[in-house]
Structure 1
Amino acid sequence: MEDGTYAVVEYAFGCHKTDMAQYPNYIAKVMEKYDKGDGYFDLHLIIIYTGDVEKADPVFDCGCLTLRPKQVFLSRIDGEAEFDAIRQKIHSGIVLTDDDLMKLVILPLTVPGTEGKQRMLERIVDLAEQIPDEGQRIFTLSGVIVASDKFINRDYMDQIRRRINMTQLGQLYEKEKIEYANQKVRENDLKRAKSLLNEGIDIVKIMKTYGFTEKELLHLQDENVTV
């Protein structure tokens, strides 16, 4: 983190002691990798509870080890209100902020139960495809796959991935079409410019009309130039 501290961030669907037992292993791995051995290592455990958990013990004490994680409860987020607010932004043509995109990514996790999460996920995916900006659309679709990995239906995950691939393929196709169109426009402009040169039109006027440099137009005057 910016202040020099470290954090282990985990999403949790439950708050039983057996769920907490996995975190010391994560903490040990982080310390092994990043501890500089100078006697100072500030590490925070942040547990983000999904909509399945409304409260949890703030301290995990197993005798030889005590954990005091920072807790975030997604059940306290009004998922429907957030969804409607972002949907209105999209339909009104308002550009989404980074916060809006992150909310879309985590909204499925605010709903309790696997089926409820899946339904919200499908609504998010449908809404994401209405985002005009390609980058934001791909970010949202990719983000929900990562955030929802533990509960998402595998077949539906494959569908989302195919949508992402098709979006990226569509971008490439559009880019190629634009490049091809620009090339054809330039070729036609070159033909017109050469014709005007042959008619004795002032080279400066041609430069202003078509945006060619003097060097390019002088090359056109060479009969061996292929247009």
Structure 2
Amino acid sequence: MPDGISYHAKDILFKSLSALYQNQALDVYGLHGLPRIKALLPNEFPSVRADDKRADTVFLLEDDSILLLEYESNERFIDNHLKYLEYACRILRTSYQQEKRIRPIRIVVIYTSDVTSVHQHLDAGDVFLSSKAVLLGEFNGDAIFQAIEEKIHNGEPLTPGETMKLILVPLMHTRLDRQTMIEKTIELAKTIREEPKQLHIIAGVLTATDKFIDPSYAQKVKEWMKMNKVFRLLVEDLEQEKEKAVKQAEKQKAIEIAKNLLDVLPIHEVAKRTGLTVAEVAELAKEMDQNQSPVQ
């Protein structure tokens, strides 16, 4: 995200998109066999390479597997699958380092209307990578947009499936060029009466079309989002979450210091030096006594 809007912009899009996807099944893609989404995960992976280090969207599914959801408009299938392989390796490495486990990884590639046939495998002998393709060229974007537009103008609420379809309309087969459909979709979303739903849809469109949208138009949309009341509320909510996390980290640090001081200082003195209450230090001392191994 450009730095000119707000350093919160990326976090807000992430938070808004997470709320949308967690309440939305992947049925609209025709992925009926996948477990439902549990959480949206960070999509940037540490790497020595500067290019292609950011996946499009990464989810944790209810079976604790990882879903890589990628958007492509080209037929560079080998290049793309090599890219997905790098993502998978980074996820596996991080998962193993942090959790000492190997999480199953699923790869779904959403192809725009530019692509009409696909290859879903990369076969390199003992190394084999498989993906599942969704061809948006098989969707009638004009008909979908018209039906949703009519519902919005009539003040009718959109179903979760319609919400997701509206986000994907610019990538479907339509009579208009992609940038025009992106702008029409976002402008239509702005007319939705429910402001949280507006933000969810626009965040979704910006994410799904990140590789294709005109940068100057994307900047204008993000500036508009910055002025949105719901956006400001989400900023406040995000600040509260971060403040809470900082306080929790500070308290945990105080507890670790208290554990060391309890060997040499009385409870009331430890409380004074760490900022913990006497009751908290007393409870900590009790736990330490209970966990201490008996002398043989």
Length-normalised TM-score, structure 1 = 0.67
1:15 aligns with 2:75: yes
1:55 aligns with 2:117: yes
| Partner of residue 147 from structure 1, selected from 179, 204, 208 | 208
Structure 1 gaps, min length 5: 173-227
Deviation at 1:58, TM superposition (A): 2.7
1:79 aligns with 2:141: yes
Question: Does the Cα contact within 8 Å between 1:111 and 1:117 map onto a contact in 2?
Answer: no
> CA 1:22–1:44 in structure 2 vs 1: closer, same or farther (change >3 Å)?
same
* AA at the equivalent of 1:9: L
Distance 1:121 1:33 in 2: 35
Deviation at 1:169, TM superposition (A): 8.2
Q: Structure 1 residues 54-63 or 26-35, which shifts more?
A: 54-63
Distance 1:8 1:25 in 2: 12
1:90 aligns with 2:160: no
Deviation at 1:18, TM superposition (A): 1.9
C-alpha distance after superposition, 1:93-116 (max 9, x if no partner): 21112222222222112248xx82
- The secondary structure found in structure 2 opposite 1:22 is helix
Distance 1:159 1:18 in 2: 32
| Partner of residue 124 from structure 1, selected from 145, 168, 185 | 185
* AA at the equivalent of 1:132: R
1:157 aligns with 2:218: yes
Deviation at 1:91, TM superposition (A): 1.5
Residue 25 of structure 1 corresponds to: 86
* AA at the equivalent of 1:82: I
Computing the radius of gyration from Cα coordinates, the structure with the larger value is: 1
C-alpha distance after superposition, 1:161-217 (max 9, x if no partner): 122223328988xxxxxxxxxxxxxxxxxxxxxxxxxxxxxxxxxxxxxxxxxxxxx
Deviation at 1:120, TM superposition (A): 0.6
Deviation at 1:8, TM superposition (A): 1.8
Deviation at 1:135, TM superposition (A): 1.0
Identity %: 30
Question: Does the Cα contact within 8 Å between 2:166 and 2:185 map onto a contact in 1?
Answer: yes
Deviation at 1:41, TM superposition (A): 4.1
* AA at the equivalent of 2:195: E
Distance 2:232 2:89 in 1: 44
- The secondary structure found in structure 2 opposite 1:132 is coil
| Partner of residue 5 from structure 1, selected from 52, 59, 65 | 65
Question: Does the Cα contact within 8 Å between 1:106 and 1:147 map onto a contact in 2?
Answer: yes
* AA at the equivalent of 1:125: I
- Describe how 1:159-174 pairs up with structure 2 within 5 A: 159-168=220-229
Residue 99 of structure 1 corresponds to: 161
Question: Does the Cα contact within 8 Å between 1:111 and 1:120 map onto a contact in 2?
Answer: no
Question: Does the Cα contact within 8 Å between 1:12 and 1:47 map onto a contact in 2?
Answer: yes
- The secondary structure found in structure 1 opposite 2:228 is helix
Q: How many residues get paired?
A: 170
- The secondary structure found in structure 2 opposite 1:96 is coil
> CA 1:34–1:85 in structure 2 vs 1: closer, same or farther (change >3 Å)?
same
> CA 1:41–1:159 in structure 2 vs 1: closer, same or farther (change >3 Å)?
closer
Residue 46 of structure 1 corresponds to: 108
Residue 218 of structure 1 corresponds to: none
- The structure showing larger relative contact order (alpha-carbon pairs under 8 Å, at least 6 residues apart) is 2
